Every structure is written in C-alpha cells, then in structure tokens.
Chain A
Amino acid sequence: MGNKQTIFTDEQLDAYQDCTFFTRKEILRLHGRYHEMAPNVVPMDYTKDPDVKLPMQLIINMPELKENPFRERIVESFSEDGEGNLSFNDFVDMFSVLSEMAPRELKAIYAFKIYDFNTDNFICKADLENTLNKLTREELTAEESVLVCEKVIEEADMDGDGKLGFSDFENMISKAPDFLR
C-alpha cells in the first residue's frame, strides 16, 4: 500500500474507479505504462493532478495500438484537444472505453467518433473511403472503393441524407452483434 500512496491519493483512486471500468490495481498499472513512455516528463507523483500531456507519437507506439489501423483516430478521439495529445485522464479514459467491460452503447459513441475522420458529426463518403483504405491497406481500386462506400450508405442511411448520422450508425451496429467485442 505504501507504494500506492505516493502515486495517487485514495480519493483520486476512488474517483478513477468510479469513473472508469478499472480496478485500483489496473489504474496503477496504467499509470506505470503512462510513466514508462516518457519517464522524464511524467511524474511519479500524481497526487496534485499535474498537467502533463504526451504527444500522439508516443501513444500510438504502444503495443496495444501499434498495429491498429485506426490508431491515430483512436488517440485523437480521446484527446481533449483533438490533436492526439493525451493527458493521463484521457489515457485512462481511452483504455476504459476500449476495455471489454465497457458497454456497447459507450463503445458505439466512440467508434462513431473514430470513424468520423473529418469530425463533421457524420460518417460521410469521404470518411468511409478513409475507413476502407485503412481496413484494406489501399488494395482496392478507386472505383471499387467508391462503389463499396455508395453501397454502405445506401444500406445504412435511413433518413436519406446521403450520409450516416449517429442514429444510422447505432441502428446498424445493433444488427451486428460482433461489433467491437
């Protein structure tokens, strides 16, 4: 216990526990990982909530994210400034949502953000093409990807505005139980 006290106060740990899907130990481990990435910048003592942010470049090199084709988008979606600089709070938040304990509704909200590349609140054709490129490593020809994206919008767009709003997205994933398991 003695070791824990130096990183977080009990109140902080309680708060983290209440706000995420993690246990005390896991939060401490997360802090360890966060600290590990930049030992010079991140202090060991977090009792005073220091304002430290790590750049995206460090975060996306974590083994958990390194191979994910959406890594940049994931980090950006969770960063408070939208540029991918994560404070420890954002960092914990990200893993909390990505953890298997998080409910689907929550994951859906963030997944929508991740797929919404241009942050216009809709998954439009450009977003879909981006997604497709990430998923297939740009192996499809331009025609093919346009065709696929058109089909996707046709299938999932219910209100006929030519792009997918969050309700379209939600409706779609409600029919795909494998989504983000």
Chain B
Amino acid sequence: MSYHYNEAFENPDYHNSETLESGRRKASQMNSMFRQNPYDSSPYDSYTDHDGREQRQSYSVDIPMATMQPGLEVSQSAKRWGTPNANPYGNTHINHSFEYEPEFTYTPPSTLSTVDGPFARRSSDASEEEKIIRNLASMTTRERIKAIQKMPKTMKEKREIRNKVLMEKTRKSVSYSTEIHCCTQCMYKIALSYRRFRNGLSELFQSLQLWQKTLKIIGGKFGTSVLSYFVFLTWLLTFNIFSFLVNFSFVTIPQFIAAGSNNLSFTGLELLTGAGYFQQTVLYYGFYTNSTITKIENSTSYDMQLAYIFTIGIYFVICFFSLVYSMAKSFRNNFVNPQTYSGNAGKLLCIWDFNITNEKAVRLKQKNLSTQIKEALSEGKSEDLNLSLKQRMVHIAIHLAAWIFSLGTTAVCCTCVYYLSINNLKLFMKGDGTELENQAATLVLPIVVSLLNLLTPFVFSLLELLEKFQYPRNQIYVTITRNVILKMSIIGILCYYWLNIVATSATECWETLVGQDIYRLVVVDFLFCLLGSFFGEFIRRIIGTKCLKNLGVPEFDIARNVLGLIYVQTLTWIGIFFSPLLPAIQIIFFFIIFYVKKVSLMMNCQPPRKVWRASQMTTLFIFLLFFPSFTGVLSVVAITIWRLNPSEKCGPFRGLSSIFDAVSRWIDVLTNYPRSAWVVWIYHNLIESVHFFFILTVIIIIITYLYWQIIEGRKIMVRLLHEQIINEGKDKMFLLEKLRALQASTRDTPARKGASQQFSTTSSLYQPPGQLDQQRHLSMPNYLERPLEKNKSSFSAKPPYTADFPETSGFLPGDPQRQQPSTKPGVSEALALAMRARQQAEREMEDEDEEDFRS
C-alpha cells in the first residue's frame, strides 16, 4: 500500500467552501461522478490509500453523513474509543493484520465498492491536480500565493503544487515566445528580485509596528480581551501620529518661518495650565498669522488661512473615511450573523483563547470556564421557573429607578459643570488677584470634570449590584451606555459653553481660550488616569492581598479604560482646530499611558472573569468612537467654521465675518484666472449648491434602501437554507430506515446466509456480523467514510461481503438512468434508489414464492 499524497482532493473549491451551498454543490458533483462511471472509479477505492489528512477534512465538508443511526453511532464510537489503539490519531494507521489490498483484487466488480485498481484513480488524481495547477497558474502572483497559503495541506504538498505551478508558468511563457527566451528569463529574474525586495520591505514595516512584542506578551498573559484595550490604544496612537504629522508639516512649519519672538516668561506651571508662555506659541490658534508667507520675493506664496482650513478639513475627511472603513470592516467580520450562540456550543468549542501561553493564566481560565459552565447548567435548570407578575414588576421598577437615577446624576453633573464654567469665565474676565491665583483658578474646572468622570462610573457600577441582569452581556451594555451618556453630555455641555458663551464674550481671543481649556482638560485627565491606575489598581491590590483577603486581586476593567480613551480622543479632535499641536501632546500621553497600564496590568491585575466578547466589543468601541464622538466633533467644528465670528485680533482668520469666508474669498480671486475655472465651477456647483446635496442625499437613500432590501432577501434565503439542511437530515434518517427495512427483508435468502457466515468468520475478530451488516448499508450511500477505512478492520472486510448481494448491485452500477448527471442533491437521489431496491427485492421474493407454488 503506497502512501502517496492525496492529490485527488486538491480541489480549488475546497478552501472556499465556506458556504453550505458550495459544499452541496460539491457533494452533487461527486455523486454525479460516482454515477457516471460506477465501475472504473469507485470512490471508495480511489480514496482509500491516500494520506488521509486532507481528504478526511474535505469529506466532512461535503457530505457529513458517515454513520447516521444514532444508536449505532454510539456503539461504534464507544467501540472505537474503547479499543486500545496503538495509533489512535494517525492518518496512516492501518491494521496490518487486515490489509485490504488483496481483498480488493478479489472483489467481484458488481458490488458497491467496485474496484479496478489504482489506475483510474491515478488518472482522475492527475486531472484534478492539473486543473488546480492551471487555475493557480492563471492567477496573478499575489493571488496565487494567497491561494497556496490558504490550502489546508502539508508543506510538502504545498511546495509541490507551487513548483508545478511555476513550471507550468514558465513552460507557458516559453511556448509563447521561444525566440525571446532570454528576454523572458530576464523578466522573470526582475520579477523575482522585485518580489524579494517587496518581501523585505514588508518585513521592515512589520518591525516598525509598535510594541508588537509587548502586545504578544500581554495577549499571552491576559488573553484577547485585555489585549483589545491595548490594540485600541495603539490604533488611537497611530491616528494621533498621523494628525500630528499633517498639522505639523502644513500649518506649524510655515508658521515657524513667519513667527515673531516670544517675550512671555516660562515658569513651569504653564505645563499644567497651558496658559501664559504657551499663549504665544504655535500651540494655539491665536498665534497663527493671517498673512501670506513668502520667503523669496516674487515666488509663490503660502496662504496661511487656506492652509489652516484645508489641512484641518482634509484631516477630518481622512479620519471620517478611515473610521467608516474600519467600522465597516469590523462589522462585517463580527456582526455578519447576528444570531449568536449564547449557549454552550460556542462556549465549548470556540472559547479557548489560543493566545494564552502563561501558566497561571491558563489555570485561571480553566477555572473560570468550569464555574461558567456550572453556572450555565444551574441557570438552565432555574430558567423554567417563570417569574411571577409581581416579581417582574419589581424587576422593571428597579431598572426604571436605576435609569432615572443614572440620568439624574448625569444631569446634575452637567449643571454643575455648566455653572462652574460660567463662573470660571467670569473670574477670568475680571482678572483680579495675582497671576498665580488666576492660573490656579483655571484648573478648578478640569479637575472637577475629571473627578466627575472618575467617580460617577463607580456609582453606576454600584447600581449594577442592585439590578440583577439575567445575562451579563446586558449588564455590560447598560453600563457602557450609561457611561457614554455621562461622558458625552459633559463634553456636550462644555461645547455649548465654548461655542455660545466663550465665543460671544468680550475676550481678546476666544479660540485660544477654548484651546487652553481643552489642553487643561486633556492634561488633567491624563493625570487622573495615572492616579486611577495607582489607586484603583496598585493600592487596591495591596488592600486585596494584604488586608482584605477576600477582595482578591483587582480585575482589569476594559470597558472603563476604553471609554476613557474615547473621551480623551473626542477632546483632542475638538481641540485640533483651536490648538493644532494637541495631537503631539496626546501622542506623549498615550505613550506614557501604554507603559503605565502595561506595568500596572502585569503587577496588579488579573484577567476579567466575565466572558468578554472581545471582537464584538471592539466593534462597539469603534462605533462609539464614530457615532457620538466623531460626528459630534464634526458638528462642533462645522459650527465653528460656518457660524461663529472669529476673533478680531488674533488667529489666521482675524477680520473675517466667518472662517469659511476665507474660502469664498479665495474663490473670488480664482474667478479672475481662467485656468482655474474648474475649481470655481466645483465650488459653485458642488460645494455651495443645495441641489447637489439634495440629489446626493436622495441617491444615497435609494442605495441604502436597495441594500436593505438585499439584506432582507438574504435573511429569508438563509432561513430557507437552514430549513433545507434540517430537511436533508430528516431525509437521510428516512433513507436509512428504508435501507434497514430492505436489509431485513433480504436477509433470509439462503445463499446470502452462507455468505454472511463466511464473512463473519473473517471479521468476527472485530465486530459482530450484524453490526457490520448495518455498517455496510450505512456506508453505501456515503462512500466517503474515511475514518472507518482508516480504522481498518470493518472496512477491510467489507468487499467480500458486499459481493453477496447481487440484487443490491442492481441499483447501483450500470443503471443508465443514474448515469446522467443529476442536479438534485444526492440524498433524495439515494432515497429513490432505496425505494426502488426495496421494490425489486419484494418482487424477487414474490417470484420465489410463485416458483415454490408451482413446484
């Protein structure tokens, strides 16, 4: 028995067969093949002596119906399980006491497992493989590599395929142009070196990726859930790096060229308040000039106004698209199928986090899992107890009260912030007291805001204890919603204060004032974050391990931390307009936060005990970053640009009635130049035109509606397919019933009896004949029974036995009807076969009776 690799199954479809449809298609293909030439390429034979690794897999993709009788299956599997097997996992294990090769050769060809040597198989192998290779050869290099990488095969096979594809390719190119052989060789070499260069480049990029190793360590120690926080952090960091680069190169550098000297003193407190010395630096809007910058006479000049507005505008557009892109991607990956397994199936087979490599983490995870499963079991028992009406009312009342309380708290916080900020502004306008006092007074507002942000979530988490949610998932969502409402309404009230009160106040440069406010908020929030990880995690651990032992080590609260990040990022986005270098500060802070959180995590925390659906949570967080956060920022910036009056005496837009005037003036200038007429046209017809936006909106609404309909259609389709699968399953069961009935009716023919005795002698070592008998029937429709062949004995004994059923062969090979390829699924076809076979058998029995009667 030679072990050559399975090439018959290098089916190009195979690795794409994600959908049931393709699996089914393949099944029917195979059936048709089987029917077409039942004699010369019995699948049973043709798949026998390959290495089983891949095929086995593909079989199960195609026709998952090895043994279909539950009862039988149990006994069988139990048997297999129980048998001490020297080699239980292997693909190549064959019981050598029962080699099936010789038996094949003696098997009469009129049976189920018709055999005619390995030649037919080889040829089909070869053609299959050729097909794949041709397919691969026709792809582009990139696609081909991807396809090969995805093949679920061993490296050796993959390399073989790859080499063959390459040969095919070169052969083709040679046959196309034998005379310019040298040239193609040259091209090939160039392509090869280019590819090597590109691979090297991607290697370089990979090494540039921040903290790759640290992230791996965190993932290994704490699992994917905690990792998702850090991934989110690095993602935000790259956002900020990008925005810093853009702002710095297009706004700040030109400003440096034109900048005057700064004559304010630097004391150090400014680092905290952002006022004083910083007022006259590139950090704030107010410092930027409104002039055009020309270094060399008569050359093109740099218009600061336009640079400012376009840089920030384009940055927001890019942000918008990248957010939408990542959100859509995340949705597509994680919410495609909203129907999720809340039950045990997912828990058992999908829950293991293969990232974890740390011993302690593994133990902890295993412990958590077992408690979870136990809880789920006890829940399953108590679920039947329906709550009475009164209890339900109590539940609803508690939820309502909790919501009213949390919303009330939020409202109180907002009012508090609002009055404090107005007070703050008054204090600033009066300007009495020393400089130091004034500066210190400005810190009151950010400290209060940060305190509210830090403490109110704790109050909310106390509410969790009161409300008892049935599912922990709901609890997480409710808590997140409450916190988001709190944070966003605080930011909202601050924006109202900035845009409606500060902007209309009689300050000299309100934009700088707003910029300073945001700077202070960001800095103080950063400090509170550090304090939070010190007190919340370090001190908490000390208490938990030294004083109150039952508190234990704190868990890392992913939701709270991520919401903090979203809050800070929102502030930064708002601040970009008023203080273009805010991203730089944010970069520094994120860097520090990353390391502080990492150290604090490693030292103090344990992974969260609850099931944390990391990927869905990540999607939710990206969505939150987009929806209240980024869209809110966009509207704030839009109001600033279109509605508000910029300050008279500072900033790039001084003297204009609104910031957008800068653009309209530029367009007015451009109308004089015929060469840039297209810009003017675009401006008038697209940007300023109401009609354009109206039409655009209508088109987008129509497209959305169409997609909505498509989704609805698909949902129905999925439901139908699901039902179909269930029906197929029933079909199968029915078919088996029929087969069993047939078998029972044919058993008592004397000739067969003898044969079965003969058979039982050969196989009695392993299984009682009855069982084997059944097996034969089971395996008949699905010749794909891989494991059984691999698990030797029963199968090796099969061929001689099957030979004793002349009438059964009648419904398999050589039937002209069945040689036509059928588009129907194989199961119903097989069912028809069973019915006919049974009829035939009955007729035969009648004939026999008649003969008896006559004699």
Contacts A15-B159, A19-B149; is A144 near B374 (CB within 8 Å)?
A: yes
Contacts A67-B358, A106-B152, A181-B614; is A172 near B350 (CB within 8 Å)?
A: yes
Contact indicator B81/A118 (Cβ below 8 Å) = yes
Does B102 sit within 8 A of A, measured CB to CB? no
Does B246 sit within 8 A of A, measured CB to CB? no
Contact indicator A21/B348 (Cβ below 8 Å) = no
Q: Which residues of B contact A (CB under 8 A)?
A: 15-16, 18, 20, 23, 51, 53, 56-57, 59-61, 64-68, 70, 73-74, 77-78, 80-81, 87-93, 144-145, 148-150, 152, 154-156, 158-159, 162-163, 192, 195-196, 199-200, 202-203, 206, 224, 333-337, 339-341, 343-346, 348-359, 361-363, 366-367, 369-370, 373-374, 377, 380, 613-616, 722, 725-726, 728-730, 732-733, 786-788, 790-791
- Please give, as numbers and ranges, the residues of chain A lying within 8 Å of B351 by CB-CB distance: 135, 178
Could you say which of A105, A132, A161 contacts B732, with CB atoms under 8 Å apart?
A: A161
In whole angstroms, what is the CA distance A165 to B62 when docked? Answer: 9
CB distance from B657 to the nearest CB of A (A): 51
Contacts A148-B348, A152-B348, A155-B344; is A166 near B61 (CB within 8 Å)?
A: yes
Does A46 sit within 8 A of B, measured CB to CB? no
Contact indicator B350/A167 (Cβ below 8 Å) = no
Contact indicator B199/A19 (Cβ below 8 Å) = no
Contact indicator B92/A82 (Cβ below 8 Å) = yes
Contact indicator A167/B613 (Cβ below 8 Å) = no
- Please give, as numbers and ranges, the residues of chain A lying within 8 Å of B90 by CB-CB distance: 81-83, 119
In whole angstroms, what is the CA distance A101 to B154 when docked? Answer: 17
- Please give, as numbers and ranges, the residues of chain B lying within 8 Å of A2 by CB-CB distance: none
In whole angstroms, what is the CA distance A110 to B57 when docked? Answer: 9
- Please give, as numbers and ranges, the residues of chain A lying within 8 Å of B790 by CB-CB distance: 119
In the complex, what residue of chain A is closest to B64 when comparing beta carbons?
A165
In whole angstroms, what is the CA distance A147 to B597 when docked? Answer: 41
In the complex, what residue of chain B is closest to A91 when comparing beta carbons?
B155
In whole angstroms, what is the CA distance A20 to B150 when docked? Answer: 8
Kindly supply a per-residue 1/0 record for chain A positions 65-80, scoring 1 wherever the CB is within 8 Å of any chain B CB and 0 otherwise. Answer: 1111110010011001
- Please give, as numbers and ranges, the residues of chain A lying within 8 Å of B51 by CB-CB distance: 80
Residues facing B in A87-119 (CB within 8 A) are 89-90, 92-93, 96, 98, 102-103, 105-106, 109-113, 115, 117-119
Kindly supply a per-residue 1/0 record for chain A positions 33-71, scoring 1 wherever the CB is within 8 Å of any chain B CB and 0 otherwise. Answer: 000000000000000000000000000000111111110
In whole angstroms, what is the CA distance A169 to B61 when docked? Answer: 10
Contact indicator A144/B726 (Cβ below 8 Å) = no
In whole angstroms, what is the CA distance A162 to B344 when docked? Answer: 16
Return the 8 tightest CB-CB contacts between A and B, nearest first: A165-B64, A82-B90, A89-B155, A159-B729, A160-B729, A136-B370, A166-B60, A120-B787
Contact indicator B15/A105 (Cβ below 8 Å) = yes
- Please give, as numbers and ranges, the residues of chain B lying within 8 Å of A113 by CB-CB distance: 57
- Please give, as numbers and ranges, the residues of chain B lying within 8 Å of A147 by CB-CB distance: 377
- Please give, as numbers and ranges, the residues of chain B lying within 8 Å of A96 by CB-CB distance: 149
Contact indicator A173/B18 (Cβ below 8 Å) = no
Contact indicator A168/B64 (Cβ below 8 Å) = yes
Contact indicator A19/B614 (Cβ below 8 Å) = no
Contact indicator B159/A103 (Cβ below 8 Å) = no
- Please give, as numbers and ranges, the residues of chain A lying within 8 Å of B370 by CB-CB distance: 135-137, 139-140
* A14-B192, A151-B343 given; 13 more Cβ-contact pairs under 8 Å: A18-B148, A64-B357, A66-B359, A68-B354, A119-B790, A120-B66, A135-B369, A136-B369, A136-B370, A144-B377, A159-B729, A177-B335, A178-B351
Could you say which of B78, B202, B357, B725 contacts A159, with CB atoms under 8 Å apart?
A: B725
Most chain A Cβ neighbours within 10 Å, of B722, B725, B733? B725
14 residue pairs A–B, Cβ–Cβ below 8 Å: A19-B148, A24-B199, A70-B352, A83-B90, A109-B57, A120-B788, A121-B66, A135-B370, A151-B343, A155-B343, A160-B733, A162-B74, A177-B334, A181-B615
Contact indicator A178/B725 (Cβ below 8 Å) = no
Contact indicator B73/A161 (Cβ below 8 Å) = yes
